[in-house]
Every structure is written in C-alpha cells, then in structure tokens.
Amino acid sequence: MSEPLKKYMTAISAALFLFVALSGLAMFFGIGKDLVKEMHEWLAVMFVVAIGLHIVRNWGGMKTYFRRGIIIAPVAVATVAAAAFIVPGALSGRENPMPVLFQSLEKASLDDLGRVLKLPADGIADILEQQGFTVLSTDLSVSQIAADSGRPPRATLMAIVEAKRE
C-alpha cells in the first residue's frame, strides 16, 4: 500500500462513511431518494473497499478483536438485524412488489394515472407544468413526460404524489 494511501485511509473511510450514512438516512426518510440512491450505492462500494484496505492496514490491531472475542457480539447483532430483513422474503419466495408497481405507474399515461389517483389528467398536467415538466399530452406516459423534461420518472411520480397530498 502506498504511503499517501496509508496516511489518508482513515480519513477516506470516515468521509465515505459520512456520505453513505447521510444519503442512507435521506433515503430512509424519503428525502431526495431519486437524487441520492445511485450516489449512495456507488459510495457504499467505495466505502467497502476503503474499509477493506483500512482493515488490511490495521490488521495487527484487528487481531486483538478476534483474540479477545470482542468482535463476536457486534457481528452477531448485525447478522440478526440483516436476517430480519432478508429471511422473511426469502422464505416466502416472493420478491419486493414495489419495483413492479413503480414500473407500472411510470408506464401509465396521465389519463390512466388520473383515474387511479382520482385526479383529473389535466390537473396532473398542470401540477407537472408548474414544477417545470414538459407535458405535451395527457396520453403520454409518466416516463415519456420525464424524458421530455430531462427528469427521472420517479421525480415525476413524486411531484404528482406530493401534489395529491396537499
């Protein structure tokens, strides 16, 4: 490992942790999820690499955690927490239905979406136009409106849902 990398490994790990943690919390609370999801995933991969290098760099100290058994409780708690999310879905043989639902909504026209949300399609078009979207027709899908507007489809859906809440 190069000397500059050794020198900055802890700082790099800490910086990546900060951004992964903050973007994860933002997604958890539904704040800017479409904006931070991809960043969160890529920085998490970089964080894993940085932590791996950090562990290699500090292996002497890490051996103490194993020798004293200090590592056992944290690993056990993390394993149980992860299993609580993964095992029920794995045992049921079902996948998360949300991606399929979102894809269906993104393919829906404003006319169809209006019927589902009990909003007039023209009203949805007005909401989107007020937020800077280009709506050429209520026959267009949410994905097409998003593409015409240079925005992600989820941002288009979120704009509609937020207006519905108000």
Domain ranges of the chain: 3-57, 99-165
Q: Is residue 79 predicted with pLDDT exceeding 80?
A: yes
Q: Is residue 34 predicted with pLDDT exceeding 90?
A: no
Q: What was the pLDDT predicted at 96?
A: 67
Q: What was the pLDDT predicted at 151?
A: 86
Token reading at 54: 């950090």
- Could you tell me which residue, 88 or 66, shows the higher pLDDT? 66
pTM confidence score: 0.51
Percent pLDDT > 90 in the chain is 45
Alpha helix positions (H), 118-152: 121-130, 142-149
Encode pLDDT of 119-136 as tens digits. 899 999 999 999 899 999
Q: Is residue 94 predicted with pLDDT exceeding 90?
A: no
Q: What was the pLDDT predicted at 41?
A: 94
Q: What was the pLDDT predicted at 1?
A: 65
Token reading at 71: 């590592």
Furthest-apart CA pair in the chain: how many Å?
Answer: 68
